[in-house]
Structures are given as structure tokens and as C-alpha cells.
Amino acid sequence: MKRFADKTVLITGGGSGIGEGMARQFAAEGAHVLILERDAAAGERVAAETGGRVIACDVSDHAAVHAELAAHPIDVLVNNAGIAHIGTVESTSEEDFDRIYRVNVKGVYNCLHAVLPGMVARGGGVILNLCSIAARVGLFDRFAYSMSKGAVLTMTLSVAKDYLQKGIRCNCLCPARVHTPFVDQYLAKNYPGQESEMFAKLSAAQPIGRMGSPEEIAKLAAYMCSEDASFVTGVAWDIDGGYTNIR
């Protein structure tokens, strides 16, 4: 299906993991994909394989985001870029808290602030924010990360309400654990020699018995951003292997 033919889709953090999966999915469905990525080399690799284009930029830099996006009419904005953090209130340093806020919260705001005026001027558009089950349930040792994803959820609802009459839909996805390079790096760093055992343990946390894949998230993202979902806005869609409701 070419649901995004003649559409420009901007994906932040599209150089790896879920963002890469979405870049490939949207490109396969006919989109002109723009990858806004701090890691330019990673973005270039994905762009070369999908026919997209890279915008080398840090989402936390307000002026740079505005400058880079000013020349691009965006039909679909996917706010995917984000970073993780492990810790309680006490073990989260001020520096770490501010870093999480800058990327996961301010980064979303910066892209919304840069893209929404153009969408309004052109009569509509679609926004999809990558949230997390961390915004829906209490997760052990994820204080700052959960804070940031709670903000993403409420920003989603606010934008959906404010721009409903301007032809703009805004939703978010709330995944549980997804098998990305981050998971493998985390296990190698924190559980050397126990990677397989810990991978199985993390997989079993989802009632379905495994982690999700970037491709599964990407397929739902494409649906949410397509005309097939034209009646869907202001929704936080759990894609979590049953974690939220049946664990």
C-alpha cells in the first residue's frame, strides 16, 4: 500500500531502533522520509537504504530545530527521539534529570513548535508521539524516564484538543519493552556473561512472553498516521504484549 505517496514524513531519532523501523515502514508506503538525527552517520545509513534524507540536528536545541525545519513542509511528524534512564528519585542526579527533560520533553516541544504553524497554514497534518507504558503504570527504578513520558502523554492530549478544528490529529503510542540495540547494549554493559538469562527475564515481563519488535511498532505507527485512522485523535495506544491490562 502506498498510503503516504506525495507525503513528507519527519521522524526524529530515525537512525536506529524504533525510529529506523518506522523510517523503513513509511518509506515502503511511499513517503518522502526526513530523518532528524543527532547521530548523522546512523541517519545517513538508514536514509541511504530507504531513499530518505537526513537532517543532522539535536532535538533539544530549539533554535537549531527551527532553523533546520523552516524549509520543509511536513505532512506527518513522528516524535520518536528519546533517551532512557534507570533510577529512583534519590539516585537520579540533577544533571541526569535535566538531560532526560531536554531530550524527551523539550525535544518533543521543539519539534511541535517548529512544525505546527506550517501544518495549520496548509490546512492539516498528523502528529504521532512515542510515549511508553511508563506513562500509564508504575515502573520500578524509572523515575525520570516515567516523568518524561508522562509529559509526552499530556502534550499529546493538549495538542489533539487545541488543533482538532485545524485539521490536525495527534496521538501517541505506548510500547512496553521493544527489542532494540539499546536493550542489547544495556545487557552487555550491566550483565556481562548473563545476557541470555536477563534477556529471557526481560522478555517474560510482557504477558505475551516476548519483547515487541521495531517493525511491529512501525506498522501501528503507519496506521495511526494514515487516512485509515482519520477518526482517531487524542489517543494513547498501548502496544505492550498485555503488560498494562493483563499482567
Distance, CA of 245 to CA of 60 (rounded, Å): 33
Handedness of CA 95, 139, 222, 113 (dihedral sign): negative
Q: Is the pTM of this model over 0.85?
A: yes
Three-state secondary structure call for residue 225: helix
Write down the domain spans for the chain: 8-176+213-237, 179-211
Q: What single DSSP character describes residue 38?
A: S
Q: Does domain 8-176+213-237 have CATH number 3.40.50.720?
A: yes
CA dihedral sign of residues 115, 117, 119, 124: positive
Nearest CA-CA partner of 159 in 46, 52, 66, 77: 77
What confidence score (pLDDT) does residue 167 get? 98
Q: pLDDT of 77-95, one tens digit each? A: 999 999 999 999 999 999 9
**Residue 146 pLDDT greater than 80, yes or no:** yes
Please state, in angstroms and rounded to a whole number, the distance separating the CA atoms of residues 191 and 189. Answer: 6
Write out pLDDT tens, residues 103-123: 999 999 999 999 999 999 999
Q: Give the span between the Cα atoms of 230 and 56, in whole angstroms.
A: 31
Query: SS3 of 1, please?
Result: coil
Enzyme catalytic residues: 145
